[in-house]
Copies of this chain bind each other. A is one copy, B any other.
Amino acid sequence: MGIMRLGGVKIRCLDLQASVDYYTKVIGFEVTGQDKDGNVYLKGWDEFDHHSLTLTPSNRAGLEHISLKVQSPDDLVFYRNKLEGAGVKVETLPAGSEMGMGEALWFEDPGGHWVKMYAEMEQVGTKVGALNPDPWPPGLQGIGAPRLDHILLAAEDAQKSTDFYMHLLDFWMSERLVTKNGDLIAAWLFRTNTVHDIAIIAGPQGKMHHFSFLLDDWNEIRKAADVIAMNDVKIDIGPTRHGISRGLTIYFFDPSGNRNETFAGGYMPFPDSPVITWTEDEIGRGIFFFQRELNEAFTTVFT
């Protein structure tokens, strides 16, 4: 089967407590544990695994690593072989490298991002349970985001990173942004039936542009914008729509300056879906369909 989803991200925080406050009170995630190294683990109310977001104290913002969950331990064997066969150096992390996580593979993508691949994680369960559940739990904080959605990674060579995720990790491409000459500027890649689990954009090696939380619909986007504003969280742009992905979105910054997104909408891509191509002259409309031009922060701030 292979990779099921973007299982988690580990994010560096300048002020851990401020970040925990923000991700619980504004985003609405809940803390599920803290380890002896000070890492704080969080999950959305509709996620059943132990965590999808790890906050780690640091003197700079940014992405520590992404985590990809595969369906079974056999997949770990399969991908170790496939990666090593392609010359990628793969380490094995014993169970417990994160709270509740089983054995994991550890490798670097061509864009300079570290990737953890794992098959097992302790299940905490969603907040509504698995027996005659209500559709949502009362008392959610802030935005009340149900789950982690995707991440946008920067890479000096977007084509090389895209090839890595497609050829070695079996991602499919839903959309791409290309120059006049057909060179790849950005790619939207999926394993689930959503427009992207991981996207790649040409940019500073090893950096992240944003990671995103899933919301139900445009109305939840409006509520999120209200919550963001009421909490004096800095908005980058939105609410708006992406031309690329059709997604409905807000970009904003966590207390360390890491860019967050709330994302809703989009459509269902499949492995046999024609790849949608955006040409560079339509980049404004592709990125922000309503504004039809990029704002400066969007193109310059990476962490």
Contact = CB atoms under 8 A, between A and B. Distances in A.
Interface of A: 1, 4-5, 46, 48-49, 69, 71, 123, 125, 130-136, 138, 146-147, 192-194, 214, 216-219, 222, 225-226, 228-230, 235, 238-241, 243, 246, 248, 250, 265, 267-268, 270-279, 282, 285-286, 289-292
22 contacts: A4-B270, A49-B272, A71-B272, A125-B274, A131-B278, A132-B278, A132-B286, A134-B226, A134-B230, A135-B243, A136-B226, A147-B268, A214-B268, A216-B217, A218-B219, A218-B222, A222-B241, A226-B289, A229-B285, A235-B291, A235-B292, A238-B290
Contact of A290 (B214, B239, B286): B239
B229 A290 contact: yes
B218 A4 contact: no
A276 B46 contact: no
Instruction: Return the 7 tightest CB-CB contacts between A and B, nearest first.
Output: A217-B217, A135-B246, A192-B193, A132-B282, A219-B219, A193-B193, A130-B274
Nearest to A240: B239
A148 to B, nearest CB: 11
Nearest to A219: B219
A130, A278, A285, A290: most-surrounded residue (chain B CB, <10 A): A290
A135 B193 contact: no
A48 B270 CA distance: 10
Given A222-B241, A289-B226, A290-B225, A275 B130 contact: yes
Contacts of A134: 226, 230, 243
A72 to B, nearest CB: 9
A193 B277 CA distance: 24
A71 B147 CA distance: 28
A286 B243 CA distance: 29
B226 A135 contact: yes
User: Residue among A1, A194, A272, A279 with the most chain B CB within 10 A?
Assistant: A272
Given A4-B271, A131-B277, A238-B290, 10 more contacts: A130-B275, A130-B276, A133-B243, A192-B193, A216-B265, A218-B218, A229-B241, A229-B290, A239-B239, A250-B290
Contacts of A265: 216
Contacts of A69: 272
Nearest to A69: B272
